[in-house]
Amino acid sequence: MTRKENILRTINRDSPEWIPYRYDGSLTLIRPNIVVRPVEGGRDDWGVYWVPTNEIEGSCPDGQPVISLEEIDSYQVPVTDWDRVTKNLKHQIESLSQTDTLVIAYNELTLFERAQLLLGNAEFLMATALEPQQLEMLLDKIIDYQEMLTQAIMKSGISGVRFTDDWGMQSTLFISPEKWRKLIKPRLSRLYRVVKQRGGIVFQHSCGHIEEIVPDLIEIGIEVLDPCQPEANDIFKWKHDYGDQLTFMGGLDTQRYLSFGTPKEVKENVKKVLSIMGKGGGYIAAPSHTITISEENRKAMVEVIDEIRKCLYQT
């Protein structure tokens, strides 16, 4: 069985032979040729300014709003050559050994975070409570663009799309579940529908605590959820409650063990997570966040993954 066949069986919970590891070549993520988050800093296609940083990979937004609520009506989303996007993705796909890797494209900062970046976090959060109609006008403009982007992505023949939006903090959502269901869910479902109509796989990334809305994501068609942060969610309960409907990617504790634990503690944590999350397929091993960790702890993590990911499914 090839790596691609095995990860597809994992996602379908159809008797995979081993637990895939996010960085073992089973999965390849590619980006459309648009400027969403300039690695070297500068302005993105939406007008947000990004600043290079040594603390994390890439850059961070400077925090300055691009527009006010009063300017939403006149704000223009980026003008994009969709045929060019599709052709570029086709070229990237052709350059990969797709017979042995599952190729997925990013749709980054999809809706929630894009609105945050444009308005500034404070005004965005106030608008969810005080000016929901104005905010919905902006969300509609964003989602119309993202739907066209998703269509262009899927026309390339890609296997699926990974949408990224951080809805959660450490112990709660940024906005109430009710507001998320009103503002985000129906718009996000439009994007999921585009992917699924072309036979693609829906990946969704959200950092932080999102327990209350996992059933909503399943309802609108999510297939793979990441990074499944155990620091903010009960991921073992997720596996118990939703393991027959959803595949999880992540879950290896970065906040505690990988960053601050000993190699022994890392190994114990990885064994526990894989033994629970890997049951019956539906799990792709990966850290719960992408940050710098010690080489000793990285080696300890990979060693245990390699040691037990095949024997777990042996009969």
Residue 38 · residue 46 · CB < 8 Å: no
Q: How confident is the model at residue 293 (pLDDT cuts 50, 70, 90)?
A: confident
> Is it true that domain 31-226 has CATH number 3.40.50.10490?
no
Residue 287 · residue 305 · CB < 8 Å: no
Answer positive or negative: Cα dihedral of 299, 303, 306, 308.
negative
Residue 126 in this model has a pLDDT that exceeds 70: yes
Residue 217 · residue 243 · CB < 8 Å: no
Q: How confident is the model at residue 315 (pLDDT cuts 50, 70, 90)?
A: low
CA angle centred on 89, ends 88 and 95, rounded to 5°: 95
Residues 149-173 have a mean pLDDT of 98
Query: Where does residue 107 fall: left (phi above 0), alpha (psi -120 to 50 degrees), or beta otherwise?
Result: beta
Residues 286-301 have a mean pLDDT of 89
Give the predicted TM-score (pTM) of the model. Answer: 0.96
pLDDT tens digits for range 219-270: 999 999 999 999 999 999 999 999 999 999 999 999 899 999 999 999 999 9
pLDDT of residue 56: 63
Q: What percentage of the chain reaches a pLDDT higher than 70?
A: 98
pLDDT of residue 99: 72
Give the residue extent of every domain in the chain.
31-226
Q: How confident is the model at residue 297 (pLDDT cuts 50, 70, 90)?
A: very high
Residue 164 in this model has a pLDDT that exceeds 70: yes
pLDDT tens digits for range 183-197: 999 999 999 999 999
| Average pLDDT across the chain, whole number | 96
Cα separation, 277 vs 273, whole angstroms: 6
Residues 109-123 have a mean pLDDT of 98
Residue 173 in this model has a pLDDT that exceeds 70: yes
Residues 271-289 have a mean pLDDT of 96
Residue 55 in this model has a pLDDT that exceeds 70: no
